[in-house]
Structure 1
Amino acid sequence: MPEPTARVEPDEIRRWLSERAAYYLERPVEELDPGAPLAELGLDSVYALTLCGDVEDRYGLVLEPSAAWDHPTLDALTAHLLAALERG
């Protein structure tokens, strides 16, 4: 987990989220459009919940299970995580 005072860059968050989504979807990360809805990419509710757990493990942020639907793209989820990390 990053240090609480460490600045996390958006590209690092997006890359990490993309890698996690690609792992769950069993697809190369290059095939994932960060602007496409997660549901259209094939990420179902089970994987979305698991991704929320991964975020907590990685960044120490507790996300509501609905976070992947409230922020339905990798880009939107990246922005949400970045804002939450900056709020501390």
Structure 2
Amino acid sequence: MPVPTTGHTTESLTTWLAERIALYLKRRPDEIASDVPLAEYGLDSVAALSLCGDIEDDFDLVVEPTVAWDYPTVDALAVHLMEEIAADTAKSGGA
């Protein structure tokens, strides 16, 4: 799959997600391990919904409110978002 032209990488999305999740959970980003299920940190439905809103605002992607449970770690969510960004870029680029 080609790298999207948006400039996002899985690493940059992982960092962004860790920062957002840390904000919601009142933790430091370095306390959010990318391979630990978000539920183990206490991510609840309110925070998950807020995360969805931030994803929509910052990346112009519409994601389901269950995305934090469908992709339960920062790593899994970052990979999913990269796939969504790539698909959206391909679609809008006429590919």
Same fold (TM over 0.5): yes
Structure 1 residue ranges, 4+ long, deviating more than 4 angstroms after superposition = none
RMSD across aligned positions (CA):
1.1
Matching residue of 1:47: 47
Structure number with larger C-alpha Rg = 2
How far does the alpha carbon of each residue in 1:27-76 deviate from its partner, in whole angstroms, 9 at most, with x for none?
Answer: 11111111000100111111001100000000000000011100001000
Cα distance in 2 for partners of 1:23, 1:37 equals 16
| Shift in Å, 1:5 | 3.7
- Counterpart of 1:37, as a letter, is P
Percent identity between matched residues is 49
- Counterpart of 1:55, as a letter, is I
Which sections of structure 2, spanning at least 5 residues, go unmatched? Answer: 89-95
Matching residue of 1:70: 70
| Shift in Å, 1:8 | 1.1
Cα distance in 1 for partners of 2:12, 2:35 equals 16
Paired residues, what number? 85
- Give the TM-score, by structure 1 length: 0.92
- Counterpart of 2:41, as a letter, is L
Cα distance in 2 for partners of 1:34, 1:71 equals 12
- Counterpart of 1:34, as a letter, is S
- Give the TM-score, by structure 2 length: 0.85
| Shift in Å, 1:23 | 0.4
Which sections of structure 1, spanning at least 5 residues, go unmatched? Answer: none
Matching residue of 2:61: 61
Matching residue of 2:28: 28
